[in-house]
């Protein structure tokens, strides 16, 4: 999960969560991040990593799920973290 540290940092900065809250196994709904907030966050990630998420409905329930989804999209589109 290469993108995990950046995602954790963004969750803290954008949503005001604490570092302790954004562990890979943390459930998003328990953090108050509902489906709308998750979509909002995915838009932020697309802007941050200059990538395009699939747009297909994907079951994202945890912080780790987000990182896995971003990693997969980055690999598919040939984007690496060092590009940014």
Partner 1 sequence: MNKVVVTGIGAITPLGPDFSSLMTAVFNAHSGVRALDTSWIHQLHSPLAAPILFPVEDHFTKLRRLMLDRVAQLGLIAVKEAIQQSGLNTLADEGLHGGVFWGTGMGGAHTLEQAYMDSFSHPESRPRPTTIVMFMTNSTTGQIGIEHKIKGPSTTYSSACSSSAVAIGEAFEAIRSGKINYAIAGGSEALLTLGVMKAWESLQTLARPDATRPETSCRPFAKDRSGFILGEGAASLILESEEHAKQRGATILCEIVGYGNTTDASHITQPDAGGQARAMRLALEQAQMTYQDVDYINAHGTGTQVGDLSETRAIHEVFNDYAKQVPVSATKALHGHLMGATGAVEMAIAIGSLMNKTIPGTAHLFNPDPECDLDYVSEGARTLAKLDVVMSNSFGFGGNNAVLVAKRYSK
Which chain residues interact with partner 1 by CB under 8 A?
14-17, 31-33, 36-37, 39-40, 43
- Nearest distance from C-beta of residue 83 to partner 1, angstroms: 20
Question: CA 54 → CA 9, 29, 43, distances in Å?
Answer: 23, 22, 12
Q: Which is nearer to partner 1, 2 or 37 (CB)?
A: 37
- Nearest distance from C-beta of residue 31 to partner 1, angstroms: 8
Q: Which is nearer to partner 1, 2 or 6 (CB)?
A: 6
Q: Which is nearer to partner 1, 13 or 75 (CB)?
A: 13
Which residues are within 8 A (CB) of 18 and not within 5 positions of it... i.e. 6 or more apart?
A: 12
DSSP 56: S
Tell me whether residue 25 is exposed, middle or buried, using C-beta atoms within 10 angstroms of its C-beta: 0 to 12, 13 to 18, 19 or more: exposed
């Amino acid at each position: 999960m290469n993108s995990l540290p950046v995602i954790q940092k963004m969750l803290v900065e954008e949503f005001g969560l604490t570092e302790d809250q954004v562990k890979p196994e943390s459930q998003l709904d328990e953090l108050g991040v509902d489906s709308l907030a998750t979509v909002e966050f995915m838009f932020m990630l697309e802007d941050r990593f200059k990538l395009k998420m699939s747009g297909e409905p994907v079951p994202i329930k945890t912080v780790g799920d987000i990182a896995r989804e971003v990693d997969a999209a980055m690999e598919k589109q040939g984007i690496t973290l060092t590009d940014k």
